[in-house]
Structure 1
């Protein structure tokens, strides 16, 4: 997967254990404070700086995270792949914030669809406080977006969507340092691995195959926009999902915490998904299963 860094020997193990223990109990602020102190005491220890970089990512301190990446690549050449993978991702995060603030427009992957522009325009209405207009635009977009059948980890579905009402038939993806809205109808395969690092709680590395036959490696934001500022560390650590303007509201639900994908069968937390097959790719899997 992109930017994986193989850790060297066990230097500063006690400090890293302390950070790990604080994260286990869900105290992100104390973990960050411990990491900052550890870097001050062990300035040349690459592992301590990687921990600090990842904690800055969890707290949404993007510029501080970038500074740690620059220091790391100058300290140890083996961290350059991590720098090359995650520095563009950090810049995508800042662009993404502007999109959900109604200040920028996302890039649309694949052949342009009118409903994508309509869905994006709803964020501008949200930012202006015109909730009814935003909901009307989303309703138009959702009605126009075609359903995509397939399977999640072998469980079939007739349609799939992001559970967040601002997104629905599109998936947020970072590709080659750019922020995209990718309609599910353009996706054939998504494969992910089990989370290994703290940064996976912020961005899920994924392998994609597109319906046009192409493929790519990129990242799916693990958390919903604004989660980095949440008061509940369980949200920031992707341990739960919370909804604003949800079941008891007439407005589209907005998520905080870990992303959920919804189908006509169930809801799936992103970190638990290993494989999504859509359209023809799902049919091939089903046919192979029937033959075996």
Structure 2
């Protein structure tokens, strides 16, 4: 018979998030001083969107193991950004913007506020205006399944969530941003290696001005953590739900939409966007 911690991992693989939580709590009761189990519980609480409990477990893990301090700093900031993000999509707050916003960006911010208030028809009208004005830029996208890493060429890139469209959510320097695709030269992503990567994907951003920063991209769409479907909460699939006639909002793993097709975030290794001074040459 396996240990409760091992049982939790097995249940998680089967998509049984609630059962995994119960098994892990039982394991911690028998060994409360194990920082690895506390980190596991932190990550599982993040999957379920229980941010306060996640923060508590992260702090306990950092007290038990000083080597966790760096992860704890990143995790605390990510949790704060996730709470802020919830308010953005509920129409209560506006995201920070990277770079000088163009008029179409303002329309996108107004639209997401209206969507959060349930005024979907008005939001769709504003988004249609924004999409008409937003400049399209070509580039390449490379996924893990690409043969020998061959990049897929696209003429335009957007998030599959129409609330975002040509904007990318990013957590940079401990703050939550919306970044227009036109401000980005490249995004580099590593394959997921831990449970928390199903909540926030580590990324390296290269900006249009040549600067470079590391950060996170929320892996899942807002509200995915509340889904009773473990495959949605664990970013194993994406579903689109009609919230109003002709208006759809996704749940589960983030998808990139291009003229060449759609690509899941967790399989994406790099996105390179054309700029006037030529394509990205290294990364």
Report the Cα offset of residue 129 of structure 1.
2.7
Task: Show the 5 A alignment for 1:167-178.
Answer: 167-178=164-175
Equivalent residue for 1:80?
A: 69
Report the Cα offset of residue 127 of structure 1.
3.0
Higher strand fraction: Structure 1 or Structure 2? 2
Which residue among 238, 244, 254 is the counterpart of 2:249? Answer: 254
Contact (CA 8 Å) 1:118, 1:140: kept in 2 or not?
yes
Contact (CA 8 Å) 1:151, 1:282: kept in 2 or not?
no
Contact (CA 8 Å) 1:150, 1:282: kept in 2 or not?
no
Task: Show the 5 A alignment for 1:121-200.
Answer: 121-153=110-142, 154-200=151-197
Q: Give the TM-score normalised by structure 2.
A: 0.92
Equivalent residue for 1:5?
A: none
Seen in structure 2, the aligned counterparts of structure 1 residues 158 and 81 have a Cα distance that, compared at 3 Å, is same
Contact (CA 8 Å) 1:97, 1:225: kept in 2 or not?
yes
| Stretch deviating more after TM superposition (118-127 or 58-67) | 118-127
Which residue among 271, 277, 280 is the counterpart of 1:276? Answer: 271
Q: Deviations over 1:173-225 (max 9, x none)?
A: 00111110011111111111110000000000000100101110000000000
Gap runs ≥5 in structure 2:
143-150
Report the Cα offset of residue 249 of structure 1.
4.1
Work out the number of aligned pairs and report it.
Answer: 272
Tell me how far apart the structure 2 counterparts of residues 260 and 146 of structure 1 sit (CA, whole Å): 20
Equivalent residue for 1:49?
A: 38
Which residue among 242, 245, 252 is the counterpart of 1:245? Answer: 242
Contact (CA 8 Å) 2:186, 2:280: kept in 1 or not?
no
Contact (CA 8 Å) 1:108, 1:116: kept in 2 or not?
no
- Runs (4 or more) in structure 1 with deviation over 4 Å come to none
Gap runs ≥5 in structure 1:
1-12
Q: Secondary structure at the match of 1:21?
A: helix
Equivalent residue for 1:265?
A: 260
Report the Cα offset of residue 149 of structure 1.
0.7
Q: Secondary structure at the match of 1:223?
A: coil
Confirm whether residue 32 of structure 1 aligns to residue 32 of structure 2.
no
Contact (CA 8 Å) 1:119, 1:137: kept in 2 or not?
yes
Q: Give the TM-score normalised by structure 1.
A: 0.90
Q: Secondary structure at the match of 1:123?
A: helix
For the aligned residue pairs, the C-alpha RMSD in angstroms reads 1.6
Confirm whether residue 215 of structure 1 aligns to residue 215 of structure 2.
no
Contact (CA 8 Å) 2:107, 2:127: kept in 1 or not?
yes
Tell me how far apart the structure 1 counterparts of residues 109 and 5 of structure 2 sit (CA, whole Å): 42
Report the Cα offset of residue 70 of structure 1.
1.0
